[in-house]
Amino acid sequence: MGNMFTRFLNLVEDHVELAHLEYRYESSQTWRKLGFSALAAFCAVTAIAFFQIAMIIGLVKAGVPLYALCLLFGGLYSGGAAWIYMRYGNRDKRVGEPFQGSREELARSFQWIHHLLS
């Protein structure tokens, strides 16, 4: 009985270590996503501000309708910000679902415990 209890405690310890490892990875991925999202937002806001200034000056001199250029540049920089977010702000699809390893190991452990107790 003592050997079974020791094996069970070792199993619980393995699960805690695996969960801790996956938590650290998921935390780093969250910070990565937030960082690139902030970078995309900063770039978009800065670009919009500079181009609004340039558009106003240029349009006053050229006589081009202000609404047309505002729509054009607004669309371009919104698209650029969306591309940065979609390219760098999303979770890497190669790593699988969050905590997938823990779920698989837990299922195997339940099978092992069921087999051990039956």
81, exposed or middle or buried, with CB in 10 Å at 0-12, 13-18, 19+?
buried
Q: Is the pTM of this model over 0.75?
A: no
| Crossing angle of the two packed helices 2-62 and 100-117, in degrees rounded to 10 | 160
Q: How many residues does the chain have?
A: 118
pLDDT tens, position by position, 32-67: 888 899 999 999 999 988 887 887 788 778 888 877
Q: Is the pLDDT of residue 27 over 90?
A: no
State the burial class of residue 40 (Cβ atoms within 10 Å of its Cβ: 0-12, 13-18, 19+).
buried
Least confident of 12-21, 78-87, 100-109: 100-109
What pLDDT score does 40 carry? 93
Termini Cα distance of the chain: 14
Mean pLDDT, residues 74-89 taken together: 88
C-alpha span between 81 and 76 (Å, rounded): 9
Q: What is the pLDDT of residue 77?
A: 84
On average, the pLDDT of the chain sits at: 81
